[in-house]
């Protein structure tokens, strides 16, 4: 059986309220897509019936399935979904649909140009942010992203936008090697992409803030600790992949 062109991975923890609307929106947006796709909801140990709700929606939402997203954090769920996916391109997006799947169309030309990783960004020219975050959180996010740039991924202006796509080769290498389970898992994935020599492209997206977001003030402290842990693992050489190549780096 041929592999789908696109795998959409949605990590979900207690998303019974938000995810049905997101799945319906994806199904509608891709109704006339000229490529094949699958939708994987990686349930991260939900206790509110998220997995059951998604499973019941499979008769109405095309190409939908639930996968075991493990427990212990969003990074674990994304890794599980990426490794269970079959797509030529594998994209993860947030359950709140803050960046709509229709924006994947802007990523396709970049993959055709030879990029291995294409990430959505709220911080590059052309990006649009609807319903901005409260200013303390917005500025805290910018400060944390600057730290991520300084320590791990210089040149990438928005490491935390939950809309990132990888070729199958990049996804398999990166997510088989990644270890972070918390909020910095995105940064780790990008740092590993650089480590493995994959070409990365940052593109503008439209993003809508959901005031029900689960990110809290204390998340910043956990994020900083994870950044240090990732840097330490890189320094010690804990990330290894036999067959590491020397491709061109970030652009």
pLDDT computed for residue 140 by the predictor: 67
Answer yes or no: are the C-beta atoms of 60 and 22 closer than 8 Å: no
**Whole-number pLDDT of residue 150:** 84
pLDDT in tens, 211-243: 766 555 456 788 889 999 999 999 888 887 644
The DSSP bridge partners found for residue 25 are none
pLDDT for the residue 210: 75
Q: Tell me 203's DSSP state.
A: E
Domain 6-236, second-level architecture: Alpha-Beta Complex (3.90)
Strands in 37-43's sheet, in edge-to-edge order, are: 64-68, 37-43, 6-12, 89-93, 163-167, 117-121, 200-204
For residue 133, give the DSSP letter: P
Q: How confident is the model at residue 143 (pLDDT cuts 50, 70, 90)?
A: confident
Q: What is the pLDDT of residue 251?
A: 36
Q: How far is CA 215 from the centre of its chain?
A: 15
Q: What pTM, to 2 d.p., does this model score?
A: 0.89
**pLDDT of 38 above 60:** yes
So what's the pLDDT on residue 120?
A: 97
Q: How far, rounded to the nearest angstrom, does the alpha carbon of residue 25 sit from its chain's CA centroid?
A: 18
Domain definitions of the chain by residue range: 6-236
Q: Is the pLDDT of residue 69 over 60?
A: yes
Whether the CB-CB separation of 120 and 163 falls below 8 Å is answered with yes
Cβ atoms within 10 Å of 77's Cβ, excluding its own: 28
CA distance 175 to 156: 19
Q: Is the pLDDT of residue 142 over 80?
A: no
């Amino acid at each position: 059986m041929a592999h789908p062109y696109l795998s959409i991975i949605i990590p979900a923890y207690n998303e019974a309220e938000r995810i049905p609307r997101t799945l319906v929106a994806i199904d509608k947006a891709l109704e006339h897509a000229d490529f094949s796709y699958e939708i994987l909801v990686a349930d991260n140990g939900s206790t509110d019936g998220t997995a059951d709700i998604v499973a019941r929606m499979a008769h109405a939402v095309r190409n939908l399935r639930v996968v075991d997203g493990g427990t212990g954090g969003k990074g674990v769920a994304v890794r599980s979904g990426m490794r269970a996916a079959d797509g030529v391109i594998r994209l993860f997006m947030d359950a709140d649909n803050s960046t709509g799947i229709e924006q994947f169309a802007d990523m396709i030309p970049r993959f055709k140009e030879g990029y291995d990783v294409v990430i959505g960004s709220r911080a590059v020219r052309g990006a649009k942010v609807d319903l901005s975050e409260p200013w303390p959180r917005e500025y805290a996010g910018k400060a944390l992203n600057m730290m991520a740039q300084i320590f791990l991924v210089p040149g990438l202006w928005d490491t935390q936008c939950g809309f990132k796509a990888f070729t199958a080769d990049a996804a398999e290498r990166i997510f088989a090697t990644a270890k972070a389970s918390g909020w910095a898992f995105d940064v780790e994935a990008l740092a590993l992409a650089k480590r493995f020599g994959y070409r990365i492209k940052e593109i503008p997206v439209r993003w809508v803030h959901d005031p029900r977001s689960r990110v809290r003030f204390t998340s910043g402290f956990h994020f900083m600790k994870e950044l240090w842990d990732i840097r330490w693992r890189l320094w010690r050489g804990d990330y290894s992949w036999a067959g590491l190549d020397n491709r061109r780096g970030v652009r």
